Structure 1
Amino acid sequence: MSAEADQVAEAVAAELRLMEPSVRTSRASARELLDPEFVEVGASGRRWTYEEMLAALPELDGGTEDGPRYEPSAMTGTVLAPGLVHLTYETVIDGLRARRSSLWRRDGDGGGWRMYYHQATPVPPGTE
């Protein structure tokens, strides 16, 4: 695997971890995956900051083992620069579809990957 493919694979693995209820309900685990400068524009149009997301994540969709879970599909990634990966994909949760875009950057200390930006756009029912 090339260095770029490795970076994309690592970002994809981190994105998938962030969808796991055990990570979503653990502030410590979520903190490892969200960049301190994190911003999200959610499917509702709400803008989330790092602290707001860490506080709300356990209560958001996908946060319980026995509740609805995110079902990602068609995930692809591109290395924009060394240590910066852009992922795009779709999810379905509880019958609702969204197109998603995430920017992941490697921790400045050469450590793990952290989500720097995320945007979700709802897909109206009946849309291809």
Structure 2
Amino acid sequence: MSQETDPVSEAIAGELRLMDPAVRTSQALTRPLLDPQFVEVGASGRRWTYEEILAALPELEGSTAHGPRYEPSDITGVLLAPGLVHLTYETTIAGSRARRSSLWRRQDPSTPWRMYYHQATPISPVIT
């Protein structure tokens, strides 16, 4: 399978795009990366819907070109079923770390991979 058609690689590329401040501040760039049924449970514990995250993303941490940026590490993924990829990784931003999990789905081969679910769990400074 080529890099362009590998579902895990495509999901990782989408995940990394969502960390880019230029994408985070543009609904036109963010919309195609999020499933209309998207839900997130953020590191704060807040539950976000598709419309809520689109409205808030430009103001959230990691959304300014000159501010702190997400630094992802150890991104791995697995194809759970046709059209469903699970990614796990860690991020650091402004000294705060979190473990993250995302589900990416593609309902039709003619549509792009989109983030369906995302969860972030803070990592205590004393836990490695």
TM-score by length of 2: 0.94
Query: 5+ unaligned residues in a row in structure 2: which ranges?
Result: none
In structure 1, what is the equivalent of residue 90 of structure 2?
Answer: 90
Structure 2 counterpart of 1:23, which letter?
A: V
In structure 1, what is the equivalent of residue 108 of structure 2?
Answer: 108
Which stretch shifts more, 103-112 or 59-68?
103-112
Aligned residues: 127
Query: 5+ unaligned residues in a row in structure 1: which ranges?
Result: none
Report the aligned-residue RMSD. 1.5
**Partner SS state of residue 68, structure 1:** coil
> Could you give the per-residue CA deviations for residues 64-121 of structure 1, whole angstroms, max 9, x where no partner exists?
0100000000000010111110000000000000000000011536221110000000
Counterpart Cα distance in 2 of 1:21 and 1:7: 24
TM-score by length of 1: 0.94
**Partner SS state of residue 61, structure 1:** coil
In structure 2, what is the equivalent of residue 38 of structure 1?
Answer: 38
Structure 1 counterpart of 2:51, which letter?
A: E
> Could you give the per-residue CA deviations for residues 26-77 of structure 1, whole angstroms, max 9, x where no partner exists?
0111101010000000000000000000000000011001000000000000
